[in-house]
Amino acid sequence: MSNERSVNVNGKQEQLEQYRASDEGQKMTTNQGLKIAEDEFSLKAGERGPTLLEDFHFREKMTHFDHERIPERVVHARGFAAHGEFQVYESLREWTKARFLQDPSVKTPVFVRFSTVAGSRGSAETVRDARGFATKFYTEEGNYDLVGNNIPVFFIQDAIKFPDLIHALKPEPHHEMPQAASAHDTFWDFVANNQESAHMVMWAMSDRAIPRSFRMMEGFGVHTFRLVNEQGKAHFVKFHWKPVLGVHSLVWDEAQKISGKDPDFHRRDLWESIEQGNFPEFELGLQLLPEEDEFKFDFDILDPTKIWPEEDVPVRLVGKMTLNRNVDNVFAETEQVAFHPGHVVPGIDFSNDPLLQGRLFSYTDTQLIRLGGPNFHELPINRPVCPFHNNQRDGYGRQTINKGQVSYHNNSLAGNTPAVSTEAEGGYVHYQEKVEGRKVRARSESFKDHFTQAALFWNSMSFPEKQHIIQALSFELGKVRSKDVQQQVVDMFAHVSLELVTPVAEAIGAIPPASGGSPVTKASPALSQAHTVKKPMTRKVGVIVGQGFDDAEVMSVLDAWKAAGLQPEIIGEKLGQITGTNHTSLEVNHTFLTADSVLFDALCVVSGLAESPMLQKQAARFLQEAYEHYKPVGATREGRPLLEASGVESGPGVVVADQTDEFAASFVEAVAAHRHWDRKLV
């Protein structure tokens, strides 16, 4: 591969540089570059007179302000993003001719946007919802967008039902409530009367719908795509993003409290992690199927409400994505970025998944209304790193200044340029799938099994995960006012599991089904978070410390934790410096007013609290709540009396030790476990 190619592929940051601007130290001008002499007062007819229409500076400034808000996305409005790079581990030439998947030495720039689905742009981030996981690869052959979610299936099988789903999911129109929540009548009425949603609902009621952070959730392409190699051989493929830190979640009570304490919790976590150099990493995984295996399974591989179980079709890890740079401006980048599943490169093609086929139309249509016209591709964040040439002209927001008289094909005046490329020259050629049949409005019979994989998901869950699903359904249906809708949903999920639906029915006052359940006994261990990677790195630990702490003990523990990758943050009575018995100073990062136990992955109380009854009281409250959320809690020698007084009982994830080294190591191990579900709570 030539150096020129590497520079081209890696040039996105340099390309964007020309659009970045700092106003610091500069003179104010209009948007046309005219220097401004006054920006405090509008032009008037006398000091007390009316404002004059000729005040072009006022009109330009106010007009721009009036138009600063573009329409938010109908779905995925609440999002946050980051820049990064992707490298393939080894050439995938055997499966695809996509050049960015050929050379392990090439770093492909990427831009990734994470988002909730249901809520408005101002909604909280830790709500129960699917999460968007959209990746734009700036490749030398053009932009490739992998537009997915953190859940591998979807509610519906055909895109024609997408408006119905979102109308049902959004706040109910007669009173515009609830915001960013599915716990209401219209959503569950939709579920009960569109039972293809059963599998997705199982995921949405599971811990997957309340991720600990964007850095700790999987991403999925959802649909079945095709990879095509140079020889024209095709494989069906499903795309996965596997987080290096593992898949971890919040508990429901914690998620609700975080929504109030810090509605920006997920974006703050992503931003701070990148700023601190703790770059989020995701491995790209592929599930590959030869075309001849299309009909070998007991489910339709094109059905977007179905997974390919990883035990049946293993995930091959083929590369790594690292997010290493925050955006410079959220509006210009995160809000204006335009993803589209139809943005592909040679070697990546589509399947006949009817939900995917509809998305190929919908995304362009959406960008036209959001971004003001057909030139959204010219916005800096959307521009490819390779040149683009065509006969498209004019429209809102046009930045290209096209030269010459010709804007059509075929032509003779410009030598019939821009000219098309052959396949050998990199021209995109659609996979030549044989298609025949009558024009019908129908779905394949193989799409009609709605409960087998919902039961598979249930069977795959650990005991705590099953309890969380039961609690989630009980909460959601408990918010539904219609008794009839409640009963319909109970009757529907009787087809999945009586173990699931019976306690839910009892909790909401519905009639438990007398019979039912699924005959499916198969499980897929890969679906359970109990089997995920468990690492302590980047976990935030709240360390409660008071004035006059034991210098040697506290500093030894903090140093050991930092070496293990934990991020200890000091919680004290007041902001500022506190001093140890040997005059070591510590900066207090949080007070009990500015922080909360739900904002940390673990809590520890050390020393210096003996002289402050208020500090002891607040610390006890924090410790007790963290303990009830199954988080690691701990105490050094001086902190042990307070830990015991707070009502925290010894047991799993409760770390106390007399030796500092032993305590520090045991606490790191407890943090790596994430939650301690075998803790017995009264």
Catalytic residues: 76, 149
CA 152, CA 223: separation in Å to the nearest integer?
A: 8
Report CA 619 to chain centroid distance, whole Å: 33
DSSP state of 6: H
- Can you name the residues that pair with 79 across neighbouring β-strands? 115
Q: Rg of the chain's alpha carbons, rounded to an integer?
A: 28
CA 636, CA 619: separation in Å to the nearest integer?
A: 14
- Can you name the residues that pair with 577 across neighbouring β-strands? 587
Distances (CA, A) of 166 to 74, 119, 120, 169: 9, 11, 13, 5
Identity at 242, one-letter amino acid code: K
Phi, psi dihedrals of residue 108, rounded to the nearest 5°:
-95, 125
CA dihedral 465, 471, 473, 477 (to 10 degrees): -170
Contact, 93 vs 114, CB < 8 A? no
**Peptide bond just before 71 cis, omega within 30 deg:** no
Contact, 106 vs 4, CB < 8 A? no
Report CA 471 to chain centroid distance, whole Å: 23
Element at 74 (helix H, strand E): none
* Nearest C-alpha neighbor of 653 from the set 619, 617, 628, 682: 628
CA 52, CA 63: separation in Å to the nearest integer?
A: 15
Lookup result for tokens 């959601």 = 476
- Can you name the residues that pair with 290 across neighbouring β-strands? 235
Contact, 470 vs 504, CB < 8 A? yes
CA 593, CA 590: separation in Å to the nearest integer?
A: 8
CA dihedral 298, 301, 307, 313 (to 10 degrees): 80
The 3-class secondary structure across 630-663, one letter per residue, is: CCCEEECCCCHHHHHHCCCCCCCCEEECCCHHHH
Q: Which residues of 320-335 are buried (b: 16+ CB within 10 A; e: fewer)?
A: bbbbebbbeeeebbbb
Identity at 603, one-letter amino acid code: L
